Amino acid sequence: MSEKSINKYIDHTLLKAFATEADIEKLCSEAKEYHFKSVCVNPSNVSLASRLLKDSDVLVCTVIGFPLGANTTSVKVYETLDAVKNGATEIDMVINIGKAKEHDYAFIENEIREVVKAASGNLVKVIIETCYLTDEEKKEVCKAASLAKATFVKTSTGFGTGGATCSDVSLMKQSINSDMFVKASGGIKTLEDCKNLIASGASRIGASSGVAIMKDYLNEGEKN
């Protein structure tokens, strides 16, 4: 565990299809209360989240090509431009997973580069959906993300067949440039999960259970 508090690792996340405006308002209120690093919401909720979090220390993150990654590159670029216009300052994009399985890493590198360009200096995290890739494919996709100048690689959407594991985080950390970072997401429910993933190399945690994790963290602090 590093010196920063656990809250600054957490992207407080709500990506359910049925999330309502009231749900987003609650998410943003919790994020402000616990000073999470960001909220991560679907593109249609970026404007609302941006408005609610104005003048707070919480960033607005959104997802691009989510959750399948099967959109064309031009659509991902437009989504990114639109998200930034609406107030997103962090972009979590899903790669074209089929192209990764075909080992067309030049395609992956290009689509990431195009999204990075569209993000106009805003931070880009590349979701590689580890549950569908071999270790060698994970390494090659991380290499493509490095070449395309992304800031993060991210384990999972949370909508695949598996989520973050310590072994994947460690592998990804070893496969990226030294100035890049790893975000762990998918199935992270407890403070222990967070600690283990951070110890494995994660610099950011995507979780919908941020409040429960923080309560455990604060209780632990009181006991110590």
183 catalytically annotated: yes
Please pick, among 76, 99, 154, 173, the residue that the annotation labels catalytic: 154
Determine whether 82 is an active site residue.
no
For 86, residues 6+ apart whose C-beta sits below 8 A from its C-beta are 43, 46, 47, 50
Among residues 37, 138, 173, 183, the one annotated as catalytic is: 183
Given 11, 92, 168, 193, the catalytic residue: 92
Dihedral (CA of 107, 108, 112, 113) sign: negative
Kindly give the residue spans of alpha helices, DSSP state H, lying in the chain.
21-34, 46-52, 73-85, 97-101, 105-118, 135-147, 166-174, 191-199, 210-223
**Whole-angstrom distance, CA of residue 197 vs CA of residue 180:** 16
117 is catalytic: no
* Closest by Cα among 210, 204, 28 to 127: 204
Contacts (Cβ under 8 Å, ≥6 apart) of 98: 70
Catalytic positions, please? Answer: 92, 154, 183
